């Protein structure tokens, strides 16, 4: 049995989540959801490479969430085709293995379809969707050699479940991630590599607080049955689960983290 197979429950006795001895890489971890994911993996005992195209932000996250022997920062622009392979190589060189890879980096310009240029379309699909393919391809060799691993992609409810004006390219990229995950899960299954995605709803990040009015945020909150917007920690909790032994029999699927936002049939859903 490889160390990535389920060892969480033995004779009915289950232990808490633990990633001790594992190495994770989080792309897009300079702030917000990615930073929370990195912090949660470190809290569970993993060593983590914190990656972002903003090296200062990545360094700040790394210094905040762990010691220098457990967490390192790295500049990664995932829109560059060679970035994924360079990142995986650097991670394995530094820590000797790669067990968990989380691709969280994404961009979401607001443009109506009539105004989207080919260049903008290609940029969004390159950062958000092509990166999933490149990351999976790069991680396959080390994960296969060590007997397993976890690939986790941050998708969105926008695209797979719902959408809004101005987000055609973003929605297409996130729906594409979910489709890619299904095929990758099948192809990678012989190597004990699970491939899953997470679909966050409205998450109250620093960026949302800075870029949206109080009225807009209150309106989004009112649309959530659980009565609050999500936090980066809510998404990080789902990542930690998928990265753990407890999720060893889960692959090719997506976990929706939206407080029930996509459930109501009508605007006035309160009972």
Please give the CATH architecture assigned to the domain spanning 20-257.
3-Layer(aba) Sandwich (3.40)
Instruction: For the chain, give the percent of residues with pLDDT over 90.
Output: 84
The arithmetic mean of pLDDT across residues 11-28, rounded, is 81
H helices of the chain, where? Answer: 32-43, 55-65, 83-95, 118-125, 131-146, 168-188, 206-211, 214-222, 232-243
Distances, alpha carbon 77 to alpha carbons 29, 37, 116, 128, 183, in Å = 12, 18, 23, 12, 25
Buried/exposed 122-156: b ≥16 CB within 10 Å, e otherwise: eebbbbbbbbbebbbebbbebbeebebbbbbbbbb
pTM for this entry? 0.92
Signed CA dihedral, 92, 40, 70, 45: sign only: negative
Is position 170 annotated as part of the catalytic site?
yes
Mean pLDDT within 90-108: 96
- pLDDT score recorded for residue 268: 74
pLDDT at 206: 83
Asked whether the predicted pLDDT for residue 231 surpasses 80, the reply is: yes
Question: Would you say residue 7 has pLDDT above 50?
Answer: no
- Percentage of residues of the chain with pLDDT beyond 70: 94
User: How many whole angstroms separate alpha carbon 211 and alpha carbon 204?
Assistant: 11
Residues 80-98 have a mean pLDDT of 96
Active-site entry in 108, 170, 191, 249 = 170
- Rounded to an integer, what distance in angstroms lies between the CA atom of residue 66 and that of residue 16? 20
Q: Distance of CA 271 to CAs 259, 266, 267, Å?
A: 16, 12, 12
Give the lowest-confidence range in 57-61, 70-74, 198-202, 261-265. Answer: 261-265
Q: What is the Cα 261 distance to its own chain's centre?
A: 19
């Amino acid at each position: 049995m490889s160390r990535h197979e389920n060892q969480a429950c033995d004779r009915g006795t289950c232990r808490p989540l633990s990633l001790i001895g594992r190495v994770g890489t989080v792309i897009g971890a300079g702030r917000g959801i990615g930073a929370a994911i990195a912090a949660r993996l470190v809290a569970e005992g993993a060593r983590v490479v914190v990656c972002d195209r903003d090296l200062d932000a990545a360094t700040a996250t790394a210094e905040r969430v762990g010691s220098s022997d457990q967490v390192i920062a790295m500049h990664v622009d995932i829109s560059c085709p060679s970035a994924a392979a360079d990142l995986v190589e650097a991670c394995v060189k530094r820590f000797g293995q790669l067990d968990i890879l989380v691709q969280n980096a994404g961009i979401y310009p607001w443009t109506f379809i009539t105004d989207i240029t080919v260049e903008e379309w290609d940029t969004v699909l390159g950062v958000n969707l092509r990166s999933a393919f490149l990351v999976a391809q790069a991680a396959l060799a080390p994960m296969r050699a060590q007997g397993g691993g976890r690939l986790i992609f941050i998708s969105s409810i926008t695209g797979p479940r719902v959408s809004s004006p101005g987000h055609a390219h973003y929605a297409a990229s996130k729906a594409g991630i979910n489709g890619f995950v299904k095929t990758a899960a099948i192809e990678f299954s012989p190597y004990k590599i699970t491939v899953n995605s997470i679909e966050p709803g409205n998450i109250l990040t620093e960026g949302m607080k800075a870029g949206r009015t109080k009225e807009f945020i209150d309106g989004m909150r009112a649309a959530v049955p659980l009565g609050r917007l999500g936090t980066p920690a809510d998404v990080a909790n789902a990542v930690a689960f998928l990265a753990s032994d407890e999720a060893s029999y889960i692959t090719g699927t997506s976990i929706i983290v939206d407080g029930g936002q996509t459930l109501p049939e009508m605007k006035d859903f309160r009972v």
